[in-house]
Amino acid sequence: MKISKKMNYKKAGPVPHSGDITLRIECMDPLGGNVVLDGINIPHDTMAPYNLTSTACNSDGYSYGFNGQFKDNEWAGLGNHLDFGARMYDTRIGRFRGVDRYSGKFPEQSPYTFAANSPIGAVDVNGDYVYILAYTVNNNHGDDMFKASALTRKYDIEHSSTFNSKRDKVAMIEVTDLAKLNSKIKGLIAENQERYGFTIEFGLWSHSGLQGPVGSEPTSENAAPGTLYQMDVSGYNIDMNWSGESSNRAGFYGCRSGVLGPDGKSFTTEVSGLSYFNGVNVVGQPGSAFPSQYTDERNETISQATGDYLPIERRYVNNGDPAAYVIKKTYLISGNEGEGKKALLIGAKAYPMTSSKDGAQKESDFQPGSKK
Residue 298, CA distances (Å) to 27, 151, 162, 205, 287 in order:
71, 19, 27, 17, 13
Q: Residue 198 carries which DSSP code?
A: E
The residue ranking higher by pLDDT, 136 or 91, is 136
- Phi, psi of 145, deg, nearest 5: -65, -45
The fold of 129-292+348-365 is Rossmann fold (3.40.50)
The pLDDT of residue 4: 30
Highest mean pLDDT among 57-71, 88-102, 133-147, 154-168 belongs to: 133-147
As a whole number of angstroms, the distance between CA 81 and CA 74 comes to 9
As a whole number of angstroms, the distance between CA 285 and CA 248 comes to 18
Domains in the chain: boundaries: 1-42, 61-124, 129-292+348-365
Per-residue pLDDT for 294 more than 70? yes
Residue type, 142: G
The pLDDT of residue 244: 87
302: buried, middle or exposed (CB in 10 Å: 19+, 13-18, 0-12)? Answer: exposed
334: buried, middle or exposed (CB in 10 Å: 19+, 13-18, 0-12)? Answer: buried
| Residue % of the chain over a pLDDT of 90 | 50
As a whole number of angstroms, the distance between CA 292 and CA 308 comes to 13
The pLDDT of residue 45: 41
- Show Cβ contacts of residue 321 under 8 Å, excluding neighbours closer than 6 positions: none
Per-residue pLDDT for 12 more than 50? no
161-189 pLDDT tens trace: 889 888 899 999 999 999 999 999 999 99
